[in-house]
Amino acid sequence: MVISLQHLPTWKRSSQLFGNQFFLSTCLAAAFAGIAITSVYAQNEPTSQNSRNAGEPTSTSSTFLDEFCDSSGCDGLGANCQRRGRGLLGCRVEDPGALFAWCRGGSILGLDEPLMSDRPDFTEASSVVGLGVLQIESGYAYGFKSESAGSVKSHSIGEPLLRYGFLRNWLELRVGWNYAAERIGSNTNDGAEDLYLGSKLGLTAQEGIFPEMALVPQMKVPTGARAFTANETLPGCNWLYGWDINELLSTAGSTQFNRTIDGISGDTYTEWAQSWTVGYGLTDRLGGFTEWFGIIPHSADTDRTQHYFNGGFTYSLSNDVQLDIRGGKGLSDASDDYFFGSGIVVRFQ
């Protein structure tokens, strides 16, 4: 589902990324916790998963974990709890593509199914690509805003996002970059934007009313052209959550708490970004979405709140190749008048 903040064209970047220090610390702590859990898993991996079935004795603590997990509603996952322990949100199953599970475990997107992308909508996917999988997402967007001083026309060219599954099924590394061209009245600027770096941690698979969730610690580093660089590192974090309601309907949202720079004063401030999207399975290959998202500055000098409504379509050429198109309209005075774009996603297994 999805267009990440680094994919937003220049027309939205002046009120864009990244975060409150406390929230960032929480996100980084979660990331390091995930890496630590990976290390513990590796150290505690049993030499044979058949040892219990072969009648070898188990420790009192292992027996307790089996009984505790099963009595807590983890039906049938007692063996997994014995091997892996019990997570914050429920029983951790064996490297399922998420750090934790909602008791019964839920299901994880398989590589024999159509890919799930972070574009074309604003709300990023709450799933990860999977261990050893490389997914490349790219596109183009155009935005227009009419102002008293002259119209603003912007082009977001390339929008590449590289996503790679690393170490575990639930861990994804992310690198993004973009080339921007902007015309304000008779003045034109173009050049590279700051580099985007991040990771996505799959937290849970969906189980009934409990959502699939992921957390994305991220940052922009000052590598861009003079007209587009922030001249400092801007960190932030994105919490993603989604539900498949049935084969034809899904819904998802994202909540971001980020740090960005005021477009006029140049001072940093905290910014919220909230979104909600509804996805539609129109055919086996064709999908659509409608979405609202808002960018909400907190303690900014001049930047104002922006609200948008947008929609679009995706078309799967195969399970590993997807095309997309989208368009949207600003709903507030500070928003751009309209935008549209298209893109492609390719998955390498």
* Whether the Cβ atoms of residue 5 and residue 256 lie closer than 8 Å to each other: yes
The SS3 call for residue 209 is: coil
Domain total in the chain: 1
Positions of the chain with pLDDT under 70: 1-97, 101-111
Longest dimension (CA), the chain: 80
Do the domain assignments include residue 223? yes
Q: What is the pTM of this model?
A: 0.75
The SS3 call for residue 240 is: strand
Do the domain assignments include residue 185? yes
Give me the pLDDT at residue 185, please.
82
Give me the pLDDT at residue 34, please.
52
Do the domain assignments include residue 46? no
Give the C-alpha distances (Å, rounded to integers) separating 59 from 63, 64, 67, 124.
Answer: 6, 9, 13, 43
**Residue 157 domain boundaries:** 5-25+109-348
Give me the pLDDT at residue 345, please.
98
Do the domain assignments include residue 49? no
Do the domain assignments include residue 83? no
Do the domain assignments include residue 61? no
Give me the pLDDT at residue 339, please.
97
Report the length, in residues, of the chain: 349
The H-assigned helical ranges of 178-321 are: none
Taking the C-alpha atoms of residue 328 and residue 312, their distance in angstroms, rounded to an integer, is 9
Do the domain assignments include residue 72? no
* CATH number of 227's domain: 2.40.160.40
Residue 21's H or E segment, with its range, is: helix 21-44
Taking the C-alpha atoms of residue 11 and residue 145, their distance in angstroms, rounded to an integer, is 8
Give me the pLDDT at residue 150, please.
79
Q: Which residues pair with 216 in a beta bridge?
A: 238
Do the domain assignments include residue 138? yes
